[in-house]
Chain A
Amino acid sequence: MSDTQLSPSAIARLEEIRIAAESAIDKQAALGPDVDITRFKTVSEQQKIDSLESLEKQVKETVIHSGFMADESDRSASYFQMDRTPIYERVQKAFDDAIEIMSTEDALRLWPEEMLEKYWWRAVMPDKDKYTALVALHQTEGYFIRVKAGRKVEKPIQACLFVSESNVSQNVHNIIIVEDGAEANVITGCNVHVDVKEGLHAGISEFYVGKGAKLTFTMVHNWAEDFSVRPRTGVIVDDDGVYINNYVLLTPVKSIQSFPVAKLEGTNSTAVFNSIVYGLKDSHIDLGSEAQLIGEGSRSEAVARTVSLDESVVYSRGRLIGRTNDCKAHLDCRGIVQSPNSTQWAIPDLASEGAPGAELSHEAAISPIAAEEIYYLMTRGLPKDEAVSMITRGFVNIDIPGLPDVLRKQIDKAIEETSKEAM
């Protein structure tokens, strides 16, 4: 991007971001195993495509696991990034005037002053750690989605960030803006090609939910066993706005550490976090969420269900910070450890900062399926393995709004497979 047409304040802002990022390029993250970011080269350029149908068959089959459909009839808009290139961006005709979808770098080129003032590194700080710094200094695109004021888009918007090469880092910066009174359901999948082994995905996501707006954001991760993943997500919710975050992880990963933060600045704003996590093989999974209840009447709920197998290590965190008298939030995090070599931590964390009226609560439990529950189902004629999978399915079957059917089936399948394994 050329700085020549920019206002002095925009130039100063870019400089500020660069300096902050440079100061943090060696700064280890507070949580999760450290990743040596110097080992990876940046992802490569790829060819643009005219239709999602022209994606390689194997790629199509991979991304469908995260709810990304090459057939766009049930989608309002699509963004597909292969390595560093946004190879496909399209808004379906019916939603032409409601949705803008493009790469964040294109958005910055189109509206530099607006982006820098309001959205560019405003919900996530570039000097948070080495991964935010990496993206700030060596960004490789990412998606920009804006839903215009008052437009309620029911059909999901889909975005896919795909990595096709090994030993690379994909450093994406995503921005979603749901303007006042608008509603959107965004499904994003992060996938790697079946042949990919090692790599790093550093993903910055900044979401802005306007007054009376609603964003349902569903993310399905489908990584490789030697992949390291470091998303950094910040969400700002205005008056009466609602943010719903659904996260599903059903495949092994080398390590993932993510702790999205929702700032409920608006009056009566709401954030809901739902997550279903399967810890498989030697995955190191460290996930959580933070809700900052700032606006009067703000509400938050976080529900996490974790099943861990094999040698996996799973941290399930949740933090609620009450900063206003009239706020209420609850954490509900439950885990089942199904292997003697697996470890789970449940770490709820509540704080009331000068808010005597804040009501914050949590329930955290790690326990096996009770034998008496299994036998209860067996007395109705169900064989033991089916009883275990029915109870496990019930355990993770939290009510997730906006979850596509294909994902529901995917979750069911994972439960079938893992509960058989656990017998």
Chain B
Amino acid sequence: MTSDTTAPLLDIQDLHVSVGDREILRGVDLTINEGETHVLLGPNGGGKSTLLNTIVGMPGYRVTQGRVLFKGVDLAELEVDERARLGIGIAFQRPPAVRGVKLRQMLEVAARGELDDEAIATLDEELNLGHMLARDVNMGFSGGEAKRSEMAQLLAQMPDLALFDEPESGVDLDNIAVVGGAMNALLKGEGRISERRRSGLIITHTGHILEFVNADVAHVLYNGRLACKGNPLDLIDEISSHGYDACVECKLCQTLS
């Protein structure tokens, strides 16, 4: 499979994914072009995290049908680390603690060793990392600290496609602003040496994060399929007034999908 400059950055075609014996995703089609930020909504257990973990290549997520192309490359052929080096990054909702590995080392890994003191200082300033840098990553981090640490790692990595799994969950308002600011910096390339705009896919329940990050389009993942798509803020309004069941039937979606 060769890379095609006109191809979308991420192209998910008829994706079916099982975890254990359970089929979680049942035919997902999703296209994300360069510079676009998409939002993924949907009830718990609908498969949102499964979709992100499948794109990243985490073990246990078995693709039974369909495929995921990134930059025209079929990801099925690539290991987790190869996907990361090709330009996929993720901020986990609940990242694991790793005893003995410091956040600073994680940043160096993410930046592939190209991280000088100045770059670390910039990240520190942006995300208020402070003493976290010298601590074992995620070991005893508070909710806000874990999110800031994840964002710092993404900023060090600067992936072409950034995946965010509930960036606002378990985080107070001050931290949401900091995390949102970092997401903006990453996606919109503000003040950074990046001509090209990056792409993002954000899982959110509350939509709070969208007060800080402009997203182009939202999708509702419902029963393993993308049930509808629309303007992110409109969709969130609809869902908060009528719930997901009503949302997937509503006119707003019907007209757009």
Contacts and interface: CB of A to CB of B under 8 A. Distances in A.
- Chains A and B belong together in one complex: yes
Interface of A: 370-373, 375-384, 387, 390-391, 393-397
Interface residues of B, number: 25
A381 B100 contact: no
A378 B98 contact: no
Nearest to A396: B100
A383 B80 CA distance: 8
B105 interface: yes
Interface stretch (B40-48, B106-114, B180-188): B106-114
B96 A370 contact: yes
B100 A380 contact: no
Nearest to B110: A380
Given A381-B85, A381-B157, A394 B110 contact: no
B100 A382 contact: no
A380 B98 contact: no
User: What 3 pairs between A and B have smallest CB-CB spacing?
Assistant: A394-B100, A381-B84, A378-B80
B98 A377 contact: yes
A133 to B, nearest CB: 42
A381 B109 contact: yes
User: DSSP class of B's interface residues: helix, strand, loop or mixed?
Assistant: mixed
Interface string B95-130: 110111100011001101000000000000000000
Contacts of B100: 391, 393-397
A382 B109 contact: yes
Interface string B65-94: 000000000000001110011000110100
Chain B CB within 10 A, most for which of A371, A373, A387, A391: A373
B90 A379 contact: yes
Given A372-B96, A383-B81, A384-B81, A377 B101 contact: yes
A375 B81 CA distance: 8
Given A378-B81, A380-B84, A384-B79, A391 B112 contact: no
Given A372-B96, A376-B95, A377-B109, A382 B81 contact: yes
Contacts of B81: 378-379, 381-384, 387
Given A375-B59, A375-B80, A391-B101, A380 B153 contact: yes
A371 B80 CA distance: 13
* Interface residue SS majority, chain A: helix
23 contacts: A373-B96, A375-B58, A375-B80, A376-B95, A376-B98, A378-B79, A378-B84, A379-B56, A379-B80, A379-B84, A379-B92, A380-B84, A380-B157, A381-B84, A381-B157, A382-B109, A383-B79, A387-B81, A390-B109, A391-B98, A394-B98, A394-B100, A394-B136
Q: Which of B58, B79, B106, B109 has the most CB of A within 10 A?
A: B109
Nearest to A369: B98
A390 B80 contact: no
Contacts of B109: 377, 380-382, 390
B114 to A, nearest CB: 12
Contacts of B101: 377, 390-391, 394
A391 B101 CA distance: 6
A376 B210 CA distance: 26
B18 to A, nearest CB: 19
Contacts of B112: 381
B101 to A, nearest CB: 4
